[in-house]
C-alpha cells in the first residue's frame, strides 16, 4: 500500500530555488491543494526541505495547545468570563473526553509525520538523493523536534506510547498490546539515547538550502535548537552536568555567529546584557513587540515561529488574549500580577519593569481602559480596529529561559553561587572581590569564576590593564530590569536558590509556555507533588476561589497528568 504524504500535505508548501527559500511567508502557507505519494515527493534535497517546512507548519498549528497546557494548568494564567468549558476544565484539572486541549492526537500526528520523514530521509540517503551533509543536518533537525514533542507529551500525560516508525493511523496507537505506554522516566532514557546519537547538533549552516537570511528572516531561528532540547532532556533526567554543558554551548554560540569577536552583538547574544535604554521596560518589551527578525529580539530569541496575516496557519493568540473581542478567553492570574507588584526596583520604588501594568506600559500584561487585564506579550502590536492585522510570532526558546535552565542545572551540580549570580546581577558583580571598585583598577584576578567548563565564566572589565572579556556585559536576569538582588544567603542554599530560580521564571517567562514544565520538574525531582499543587492552589486563593483551589490541589496530588484518551 502506498502511504500518502502527511494526509493533507501540499505541493505548494515551499518552492526551493538554487540557494534559498523563495519566501518564508509562502513556506508556511499550508492550505492543502494536492496529495502526493511518498514515491513522488522524496526526489531531491528541495523535496526534503519541503517536508521539513511542512512539519514546522503543522507545529505552528498546535502552539495554542502548547501554551494552554503549560500555562493555564499552572499558576500564572486564568480564564475570563468568555472562556468556554474546555478551557475551564483545563484550568480546574478536571477534563472530559473530547476536550480538544487535552487530546494527544495532534502531537502524535506531528510525531507520525516526523517518523515518516525520518524513514524517507534514510531511504533518500541510501539512494544518493541526499549527500552526507544534507542527510545528517535534516535528519537531526526532524529527530530533535520529535524528541521535543515527546518531552511535551511526557510532561503532560506521564506514561505514553513511544513510537519511532510511521503508522497508518494515529488510532492504531490505542492498541496497547502493540503500542503499550512506557513510564515518563523510561521515556526520558529513550530520548537521551536517541537525541544524543543525532549526528548534527548545530544550527543549519548558512550555506545550506535551509540556512542563512531570506527576506530579512534568520532561518536559523525557525528550527529547533538541538542543544537546548538536549539540555532540557538531561535536566529532566537529573543529568545536571550534561545539561549545563549543552546550555553553555548555546550561551557561547555567538562565537560562531560573530567569529571576529569585535561586535557588540558578540558580547550580548544569549548573554543577558544590560539594558541601557532609559525606559527599561520598553527595551525588554521589544523582545515580544519587534517584528520577526529585528535586531533586539534576535539577540534574545533562540527558537521562534512566525505568523503572517496572509497565510495559514493563523496566529491563534489574538483570539485567546486580545481584549475587546468576545473571544478574549485567557488573562493573567491575580497571583501573577501580585508577583510583579511585590518586586522592588534598585531605586527602592515598587513594581517590576517587566509588568508595571498599573502604569499602562507593561510588556507582560496591561490593564485596559475597560478594566480587562491582558496578556500583552502576544498582542502588543494588535489593534482591534484592524482585526485582520494578525502577524506575530511565538517564542519557543529565548536567552532568559536558557540562563534560568542553566542556573537550575548548575545549582544542582554544586554551583549555587554561579546560579545566584546569573539570576541576580551577573558574573561581573557577584564574582568581584570589590564590586563597587569601578573599572580603573587591575581586575586580572577577579570578576571570573575560576572554575572548570562549563562553569568557567570570565567577566573582567577593567582598564589597567584593559579587559573586556566575553561576559563583561552580563548583568543577570534581575539586574537587566534593574531589580534589587535576592538575598545573598542563597549563594550557599541549594534548595532556597532553586525556589528563587522558579520564582524568577514566573516573573521573566510568564505566559510563554514554560510554567507547568518548571513546576512539575521540581516536584518530581523533590519527590513532593505538593510543591506543584500548592502553587496552583494559590492561584485560586488569590482569586477568591478558596474551595475550588482546595479541590484542584487534591486532584493534582492524586494525579498531575492528563488522561491519555481520545
pLDDT of 275-287, one tens digit each? 655 455 567 888 9
Question: In the numeric block, which cell numbers belong to residue 155?
Answer: 510532561
Tell me, what's the pLDDT at 38? 60
Task: State the pLDDT confidence band at 268, using cuts at 50, 70 and 90.
Answer: confident
Give the three-state DSSP class for 214. Answer: strand
> What residues are paired with 77 via a beta bridge?
332
Report whether pLDDT(480) > 70: yes
Tell me, what's the pLDDT at 37? 59
H/E element, 476: none
Report whether pLDDT(40) > 80: no
* Range from 106-115, 211-220, 315-324 carrying the lowest mean pLDDT: 211-220
Question: In the numeric block, which cell numbers belong to residue 552?
Answer: 484542584
Q: Provide the H-helix boundaries in 413-545.
A: 416-423, 427-430, 477-480, 494-508, 515-526, 530-542
Residue 355 CA from chain centroid, whole number: 20
Region 228-256: mean pLDDT is: 96
DSSP secondary structure letter of residue 246: H
Tell me, what's the pLDDT at 216? 52
Question: Closest by alpha carbon to 532, among 564, 560, 504?
Answer: 560
Contacts of 19 (CB under 8 A, 6+ apart): 209, 212
DSSP secondary structure letter of residue 492: G
Numbers of helices and strands, H then E, in the chain: 24, 12
Distance between CA atoms of 273 and 479, rounded to whole angstroms?
A: 9
Distance between CA atoms of 142 and 50, rounded to whole angstroms?
A: 12
Report whether pLDDT(561) > 90: yes
Residues 473 and 267: beta-carbon distance below 8 Å:
yes
What sign does the CA torsion over 87, 88, 91, 97 have?
A: negative
Number of residues assigned to the chain: 566
Cell 527578525 belongs to residue: 293
CB neighbour burial string for 450-469, b if at least 16 within 10 angstroms, e if fewer: eeeebbebbbbbbeeeebeb
Q: How much is the mean pLDDT over the chain? A: 89
Task: State the pLDDT confidence band at 20, using cuts at 50, 70 and 90.
Answer: very low
> What residues are paired with 306 via a beta bridge?
393
Task: State the pLDDT confidence band at 322, using cuts at 50, 70 and 90.
Answer: very high
Tell me, what's the pLDDT at 28? 41
Report whether pLDDT(26) > 60: no
Peptide bond into 347 cis (omega under 30): no
Tell me, what's the pLDDT at 297? 60
Task: State the pLDDT confidence band at 213, using cuts at 50, 70 and 90.
Answer: low
Q: Cβ–Cβ contacts within 10 Å for residue 523, how many?
A: 19
SS3 content of the chain, % helix, strand, coil (to 5): 50, 10, 45
H/E element, 346: none
Task: State the pLDDT confidence band at 11, using cuts at 50, 70 and 90.
Answer: very low
Residues 424 and 486: beta-carbon distance below 8 Å:
yes
Tell me, what's the pLDDT at 4? 33
Question: Closest by alpha carbon to 168, among 246, 95, 112?
Answer: 112
CB neighbour burial string for 236-249, b if at least 16 within 10 angstroms, e if fewer: bbebbebbbbbbbb
Amino acid at each position: 500500500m502506498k502511504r500518502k504524504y502527511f494526509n493533507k500535505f501540499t505541493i505548494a508548501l515551499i518552492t526551493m530555488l538554487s540557494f534559498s527559500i523563495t519566501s518564508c511567508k509562502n513556506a508556511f502557507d499550508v492550505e492543502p491543494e494536492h496529495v502526493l505519494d511518498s514515491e513522488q515527493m522524496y526526489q531531491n534535497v528541495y523535496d526534503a526541505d519541503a517536508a521539513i517546512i511542512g512539519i514546522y507548519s503543522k507545529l505552528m498549528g498546535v502552539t495554542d495547545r502548547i501554551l494552554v497546557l503549560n500555562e493555564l494548568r499552572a499558576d500564572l494564567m486564568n480564564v475570563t468570563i468568555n472562556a468556554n468549558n474546555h478551557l475551564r476544565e483545563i484550568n480546574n484539572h478536571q477534563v472530559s473526553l473530547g476536550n480538544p486541549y487535552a487530546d494527544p492526537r495532534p502531537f502524535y500526528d506531528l510525531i507520525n509525520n516526523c517518523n515518516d520523514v525520518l524513514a524517507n530521509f534514510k531511504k533518500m540517503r541510501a539512494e544518493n538523493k541526499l549527500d552526507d551533509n544534507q542527510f545528517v543536518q535534516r535528519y537531526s533537525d526532524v529527530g530533535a523536534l520529535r524528541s521535543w514533542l515527546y518531552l511535551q507529551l511526557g510532561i503532560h500525560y506521564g506514561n505514553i506510547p513511544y513510537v519511532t516508525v510511521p503508522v497508518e493511523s494515529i488510532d492504531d496507537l490505542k492498541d496497547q498490546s502493540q503500542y503499550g505506554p512506557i513510564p515518563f522516566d523510561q521515556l526520558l532514557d529513550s530520548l537521551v539515547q536517541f537525541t544524543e546519537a543525532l549526528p548534527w547538533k548545530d544550527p543549519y549552516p548558512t550555506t545550506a538550502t535551509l540556512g542563512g537570511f531570506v527576506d530579512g528572516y534568520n532561518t536559523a531561528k525557525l528550527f529547533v535548537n538541538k542543544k537546548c532540547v538536549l539540555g532540557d532532556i538531561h535536566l529532566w533526567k537529573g543529568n545536571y552536568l550534561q545539561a549545563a554543558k549543552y546550555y553553555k554551548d548555546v550561551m557561547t554560540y555567538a562565537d560562531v555567529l560573530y567569529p571576529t569577536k569585535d561586535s557588540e552583538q558578540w558580547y550580548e547574544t544569549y548573554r543577558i546584557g544590560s539594558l541601557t535604554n532609559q525606559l527599561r521596560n520598553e527595551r525588554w518589551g521589544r523582545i515580544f513587540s519587534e517584528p520577526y527578525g529585528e535586531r533586539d529580539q534576535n539577540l534574545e530569541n533562540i527558537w521562534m515561529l512566525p505568523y503572517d496575516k496572509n497565510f495559514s496557519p493563523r496566529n491563534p493568540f489574538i483570539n485567546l488574549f486580545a481584549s475587546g473581542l468576545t473571544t478574549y478567553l485567557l488573562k493573567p492570574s491575580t497571583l501573577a500580577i501580585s508577583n510583579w507588584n511585590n518586586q522592588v526596583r534598585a531605586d527602592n520604588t515598587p513594581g517590576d519593569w517587566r509588568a508595571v501594568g498599573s502604569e499602562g506600559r507593561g510588556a507582560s500584561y496591561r490593564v485596559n481602559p475597560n478594566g480587562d487585564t491582558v496578556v500583552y506579550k502576544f498582542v502588543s502590536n494588535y489593534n482591534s480596529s484592524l482585526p485582520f492585522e494578525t502577524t506575530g510570532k511565538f517564542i519557543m526558546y529565548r536567552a532568559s529561559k536558557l540562563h534560568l535552565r542553566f542556573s537550575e542545572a548548575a545549582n544542582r551540580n554544586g554551583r549555587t553561587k554561579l546560579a545566584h549570580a546569573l539570576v541576580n546581577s551577573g558574573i561581573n558583580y557577584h564574582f568581584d572581590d570589590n564590586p563597587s571598585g569601578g573599572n580603573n583598577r587591575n581586575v586580572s584576578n577577579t570578576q571570573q569564576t575560576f572554575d572548570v567548563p562549563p562553569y568557567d565564566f570570565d567577566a573582567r572589565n577593567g582598564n589597567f590593564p584593559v579587559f573586556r572579556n566575553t561576559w563583561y556585559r552580563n548583568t543577570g536576569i534581575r539586574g537587566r530590569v534593574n531589580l534589587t538582588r535576592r538575598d545573598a544567603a542563597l549563594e550557599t542554599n541549594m534548595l532556597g536558590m532553586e525556589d528563587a530560580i522558579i520564582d524568577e521564571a514566573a516573573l521573566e517567562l510568564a505566559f510563554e509556555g514554560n510554567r507547568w514544565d518548571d513546576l512539575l520538574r521540581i516536584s518530581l525531582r523533590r519527590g513532593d507533588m505538593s510543591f506543584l499543587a500548592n502553587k496552583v492552589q494559590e492561584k485560586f486563593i488569590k482569586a477568591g476561589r478558596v474551595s475550588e483551589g482546595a479541590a484542584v490541589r487534591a486532584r493534582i496530588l492524586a494525579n498531575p497528568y492528563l488522561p491519555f484518551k481520545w
